[in-house]
């Protein structure tokens, strides 16, 4: 009986060890690193693309991450129920309102990039209604007013160019913009060679969804792999997605602009639509 117990124990550890090797070997992650580019090592034969200095693509590559195993939280600070779809969290707040969802996550990152680089005149986004609202207008005291389901703009506040006021501006954008407006402000990527960091998969609608490309690796033959990130509903931390469809490649994804559909960790884009914000063309 004692010998049987020992054999059973050995079998258990042998099985556990083999499972660990099988499931984690393809997932190359340096958990001591704190940015997207340094934490995720491309699969064998692939290497990180060197993004243009000062570009939005480089900004995303170097975005800081929370420590490993950090849970995805919603806008109330409570961890969401399903924690199996992410591998890392971007170190950026989600606000305290249920506003910064899928398309808003891309808008937030791009707006922060422009703010950090003091490109204030370029900060502006369309509402779903097609109205355009800039940071310059908001900081001068212009505010939105709803009447009979229509939005008008009136001056009600003093000028304020602080970062705190900038966050209030973004809340207005999140409230009135979405996948429909972001899709309309973007241009389609028509060939795989053109896909780059900062582009996004998008399905416009109410609700629709979007997923951000936050990293690109390439091999010598020119084949590319991609890291994807998203927020979701309810508003929650922006997180890097695992690849459930291809665990051996995870968290990297293959993308094809001509594919009839693309399956990510929590959403199926049908058809595949990869786009780029018009100002980044």
pLDDT in tens, 47-68: 999 999 999 999 999 999 999 9
Residue 15 banded pLDDT, cuts 50, 70, 90? very low
234 upstream amide cis, omega within 30 of 0: yes
Give 237's contacts (C-beta < 8 A, 6+ positions apart). 66, 72, 73, 89, 90, 92, 94, 231
Please, what is the average pLDDT of the chain? Answer: 89
- Short-list 80, 47, 67, 52, CA closest to 225: 47
Residue 22: its pLDDT value, please?
28
Determine the Cα–Cα distance for residues 134 and 280; give it in Å rounded to an integer: 17
* pLDDT tens profile 92-126: 999 999 999 999 999 999 999 999 999 999 999 99
Of 147-161, 208-222, 223-237, give the lowest mean pLDDT range.
147-161
* pLDDT tens profile 137-151: 999 999 999 887 789
By CB atoms closer than 10 A (0-12, 13-18, 19+), residue 94 is: buried
């Amino acid at each position: 009986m004692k010998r049987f117990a020992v054999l059973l124990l050995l079998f258990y550890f042998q099985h556990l060890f083999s499972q660990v090797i099988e499931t984690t070997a393809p997932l190359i992650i340096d958990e001591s690193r704190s940015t997207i580019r340094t934490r995720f090592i491309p699969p064998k034969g692939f290497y990180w693309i060197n993004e243009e200095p000062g570009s939005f693509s480089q900004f995303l590559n170097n975005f800081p991450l929370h420590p490993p195993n950090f849970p995805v939280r919603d806008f109330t600070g409570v961890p969401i129920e399903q924690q199996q779809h992410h591998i890392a969290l971007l170190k950026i707040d989600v606000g305290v309102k249920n506003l910064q969802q899928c398309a808003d996550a891309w808008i937030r990152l791009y707006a922060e990039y422009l703010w950090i680089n003091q490109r204030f005149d370029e900060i502006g986004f369309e509402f779903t209604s097609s109205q355009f609202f800039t940071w310059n207008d908001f900081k001068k005291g212009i505010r939105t007013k709803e009447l009979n389901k229509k939005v008008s703009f009136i001056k009600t506040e003093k000028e304020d160019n602080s970062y705190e006021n900038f966050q209030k501006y973004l809340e207005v954008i999140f409230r009135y913009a979405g996948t429909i407006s972001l899709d309309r402000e973007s241009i389609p990527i028509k060939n795989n060679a053109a896909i780059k960091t900062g582009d996004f998969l998008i399905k416009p609608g109410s609700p629709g969804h979007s997923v951000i490309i936050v990293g690109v690796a390439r091999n010598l033959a020119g084949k590319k792999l991609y890291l994807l990130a998203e927020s979701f509903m309810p508003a929650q931390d922006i997180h890097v997605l695992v690849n459930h469809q291809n665990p051996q490649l995870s968290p990297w994804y293959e993308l094809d602009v001509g594919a009839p559909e693309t399956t990510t960790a929590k959403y199926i884009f049908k058809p595949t639509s990869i786009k780029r914000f018009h100002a980044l063309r």
